[in-house]
Amino acid sequence: MRQIFLDTETTGLSPDAGDRIIEIGCVEMVNRRLSGRNLHFYLNPQRPSHPDAVKIHGLTDDFLADKPLFESVADELLEFVAGAEIIIHNASFDVGFLNAELKRLARAPFPGMVASVTDSLLMARSMFPGKANSLDALCKRLEVDNTGRSLHGALLDAGLLAEVYIRLTRGQDSLVIDAGEAAATQSAIASVDFRGLVLPVIEASDAEAESHAAMLKELDKVSGGKTVWRRFEPEPVA
């Protein structure tokens, strides 16, 4: 299972108003483990960023002036995400910007280029209704270290989202293990020879047997004689 955690930074809030993508970060996970393969671009948006946006991401127009255009990285981006489940926090925002960039290049919308798009914000809202579910709030709630996040950054946020997602989909106390862990566990079990193992059988004492019979009698009374345990009692020997 291949998943890509994706985040963008933009010049503003509205692609319909001409705002553009200025940073893309992608973090790959395979079988619920980070692969170490990431993709990261700073982009020249060919327009100034809104001052409020700069306060969030810190990427100035001067810094972006010599960066590549989206059209020059589009093929590399689409090749990287092809066939993967894409996980984005507040996916409608990032996908809206990606679609706008691809439309300028006469390319198909982003969701059609990937296996699927999952919105982790919607997941979090269903799990924590009525609570703050921003990436920062989830990091705090799920104990993901985000102390290095003084400003938003696409690659940093994609990495944090990957850690948050793992905790959203598998808690620390979960009994569910992933495919890699299952294979390792099965291998360890297969290497142990149980043929010489003798399990002790501990008989119930007379007092314990009487107590058990009294409990079943009470259950029979309450359930109208429908005690399931009775079905497993051995037939009396004639």
Segment 193-201 shows an average pLDDT of 70
Q: Which runs of consecutive H residues, i.e. helices, occur in 22-170?
A: 51-57, 61-64, 70-81, 91-104, 120-127, 135-141, 154-169
At 220, the pLDDT band (50, 70, 90 cuts) reads: confident
Nearest to 121 by CA among 95, 102, 152: 95
> In terms of DSSP H, where are the helices of the chain?
51-57, 61-64, 70-81, 91-104, 120-127, 135-141, 154-169, 179-190, 206-223
Longest dimension (CA), the chain: 97
Instruction: Rounding to the nearest 10 degrees, give the CA dihedral for residues 47, 52, 53, 54.
Output: 80
**pLDDT-derived band at 172, boundaries 50, 70, 90:** very low
Per-residue pLDDT of 131-167, as tens digits, reads: 999 999 999 999 999 887 767 889 999 999 999 999 9
For range 202-220, the mean pLDDT: 82
What number of other Cβ atoms are within 10 A of residue 9's Cβ? Answer: 25
State pTM to two decimals: 0.71
Which are the catalytic amino acids?
152
Residue with more model confidence, 215 or 21: 21
Task: Let me know: does 8 contact 81? Beta carbons within 8 Å.
Answer: no
Find the mean pLDDT for residues 221-236: 66
* Residue 173: per-residue pLDDT: 38
